[in-house]
Structure 1
Amino acid sequence: MDLTVHRLWQPPPLPTLAEVATVGDGRLALALCHPDGRVREAALSRAADRSALLPLVVVRCADWVAPVRERAREVLRASLDADTAVALAPLILRVGRRERGAHAVELLGERLRGLPRERRASLFTSADRSVRRYAYRLAVEEGLFSPAELARAAALDGDIVVQDRCAEAALAAVRESGAYDDVLPSLLAARGPRVRAAGVTALRAAGRPETAVPFLVDRSAMVRACARYVVRQYGGTRSRGTGPGVPTRPVR
């Protein structure tokens, strides 16, 4: 039966350049994917006020034909408000990986910067890790989160890029103030070894080598190495003033 349907069904003909001015949204979507660049460019002019077609406009922003590409970018800039930018962020970032896709990503950043974090909350919990990476990078640049919030994000997110970015930003934010209590509990309790390692290493700057001792037997070799480093920096002995709980024999 499937073969019969395939034989009987014929796809509709693509819109011609002359038809673009009058076709409905369905045919206009086909025109935006037309092999003829002149048809794609003409279709873009009609897609400006049709939000359902904006995803195809995003794709055309990386078009291989320069006039089509430039027209698509004009349309996207005029049509992309903040809420639409949040909704289209996954697609824009995917298209951004293409050779000519950077322009749409730059526009996305313009629309998102300064936007209250509540309105872009979905980006921080997106199933697409590239979206979360982008969202947290922007948030760190803007100082959108407190050090404690960044530490919690590092501890909870499963992506190592997000973990590293948030952990580093959290520790950098408290380095001068010395408010390590705001970030260390989350970092040291994290499931990800990279985050725990960052927290353990920060114990040296915090002047708390005794807290590193339990991590000498951590399940992660990376964390154990960081713990050895912290204890060793304080001599690994009580006689060096490291406080209670630090081994009395040098840590090798």
Structure 2
Amino acid sequence: MTSEEKPLDAAIRGLARGGALAGAVEVRRPGSWLELDERIRSGYTWRGMGRPTHPWLADRVRPTVLRALLGCPTPSEAELALALCDGDGRIRAAALPHAAGRPAVLPLVAVRTADWAAPVRDEAHAVLAGALSGADAGTLAVTAPVILRLRSRVRGGTATALLREVLRAAPPATVAALLLNRDRATRRFALDVGVERGLLTPAELAGLAAYDTDVVVRDRAASAALAAGFPDETLPVLLAARSGTVRSAGVTALRKAGRAAEAEPFLYDRSALVRACARWVLRQDGRDPLPLYRAACTGPASVPGRAPLGLAECGDRNADLPVLWELTGHAHPLVRSSAVAGLRVLEVADHHRLLALLDDPAPGVVREAARALLPWADRLPEGELVRRTGPGRPVSVRVRALRLLRAHGSAAYEETARRLARDPDPELRTRFRRTLGIGEAVPRPAVARSRLWRT
């Protein structure tokens, strides 16, 4: 590959020289197949090699079995791939029969089902239908993501309908294998089919909801698990999930399961949605969550980390504001940051006291203090912000102070930002340049105008 040649162009030239198809295409990435097809059909220049002539297509009028008996040449995977992506529709159509029984090129056959030429689409649909009906899990793992990627095309729905029909009759193990595919669209599709066929137990659905990385899969699996009932092994998995939406579904289901009292610990969950659902469940059970929050924040026992924030979300400003201010001096950093976040929820305007919280040793407290100060940035003393960007301050303080200085609309922002961009700490220097937009124009102080408009 020359220094000016793109990797995809080099891969195409490698195919033309007889290279392996797997070396030119990332077979597990559906976009790689589409890029290969688009690049060849969009007028790829062969630069001294000459366009492939596909001499093996001369015997295309003979059946595949007869060609084999007569010793006619069989195209390699690379040759077949180039023909299936050729800019001439007649060549694409003639190459499709050769793809029967060649699972390595089946994703390109799927691409041809969305071809603009009707004869090519019809032939590709026939070949794909025959191949998918007996395809193993490995072939489907590569082909299904390509098929689902075609849905956005004008003629791309036929292959998706064919895939759904095949999976409705496929062995359960085949559908289960697609639930582990790294392509999230494939996992969503397999989950829909699996739920439709009743292949997944409530415990398996709860496991998908708790551990899958895709939010859509998690939500659909959680809904399906709860729709199947409330066996003992389902709710604990949902309630322990990392996703807040999944935990909220489990907390909400506690009421229908007759276990509303178990929602109380979730009043202090890290997710605002889970806390809101826990309050709703307790209210439906005839219990007011506000006294529970107040007891947690003022009792002699240790304060739950996010109890102050929950108190602010449902409490009374006049009654609970002193408690939140007191908790900003708590020994536990999480309690302090939660209390500051509660002050922000209550829209506390005492920016002088909030400014002092920027000096807290815990980065989480500094972050929440900066968020609470942001609406009042234009009222903050410019010198106090500049001072907090100086050497010797923690990184969290310097970063947040500069952001507030920028929101302030201060003329000192550009000079301070340039100074920090030359900081001796290379990590800090890179962080400022990447995240703070060094060199951009100083924004106009629109904070006060937006607040006046709301008033």
TM-score, with structure 1 as normaliser: 0.84
**What is the aligned partner in structure 2 of residue 214 from structure 1?**
265
Partner amino acid, structure 2, of 1:21: A
Q: CA deviation at 1:2?
A: 2.8
Q: CA deviation at 1:115?
A: 2.6
| Cα distance in 1, alignment partners of residues 120 and 104 from structure 2 | 19
| Cα distance in 1, alignment partners of residues 85 and 175 from structure 2 | 30
Q: How does 1:191-202 map to 2 (within 5 A)?
A: 191-202=242-253
Identity between Structure 1 and Structure 2 (%): 52
Indicate conservation of the 8 Å contact 2:251/2:263, yes or no.
yes
| Cα distance in 2, alignment partners of residues 189 and 58 from structure 1 | 40
**What is the aligned partner in structure 2 of residue 20 from structure 1?**
57
**What is the aligned partner in structure 1 of residue 285 from structure 2?**
234
The secondary structure found in structure 2 opposite 1:38 is: helix
Q: CA deviation at 1:91?
A: 1.8
Tell me if 1:135 matches 2:186. no
Query: Any idea what the Cα deviations from partners look like across 1:25-50, whole Å, max 9, x if unmatched?
Result: 33332221111212211121332243
**What is the aligned partner in structure 1 of residue 213 from structure 2?**
158
| Cα distance in 2, alignment partners of residues 79 and 127 from structure 1 | 22
| Cα distance in 2, alignment partners of residues 48 and 247 from structure 1 | 68
Alignment CA distance shift 1:2-1:186 (3 Å): same
Q: How does 1:75-224 map to 2 (within 5 A)?
A: 75-80=127-132, 81-83=134-136, 84-174=139-229, 179-224=230-275
**Superposition RMSD in Å:** 2.9
The secondary structure found in structure 1 opposite 2:160 is: helix
Aligned residues between the structures? 238
Tell me if 1:11 matches 2:49. yes
**What is the aligned partner in structure 2 of residue 68 from structure 1?**
120
Alignment CA distance shift 1:49-1:12 (3 Å): farther
Indicate conservation of the 8 Å contact 1:215/1:223, yes or no.
yes
Indicate conservation of the 8 Å contact 2:176/2:190, yes or no.
no
- Rg larger for: 2
| Cα distance in 2, alignment partners of residues 120 and 137 from structure 1 | 10
Q: Which moved more, 1:27-36 or 1:132-141?
A: 27-36
Q: CA deviation at 1:201?
A: 0.4
Q: Which moved more, 1:120-129 or 1:158-167?
A: 120-129
| Cα distance in 2, alignment partners of residues 54 and 183 from structure 1 | 39
Q: 1:56 aligns with which of 108, 111, 116?
A: 108
- What residue ranges of structure 2 are gaps of 5+ in the alignment? 11-45, 60-72, 295-310, 315-455
Q: Which moved more, 1:180-189 or 1:90-99?
A: 90-99
| Cα distance in 1, alignment partners of residues 246 and 124 from structure 2 | 42
Q: CA deviation at 1:153?
A: 1.3
Query: Any idea what the Cα deviations from partners look like across 1:102-142, whole Å, max 9, x if unmatched?
Result: 11111111222233332343311222111111111111111
Partner amino acid, structure 1, of 2:216: V
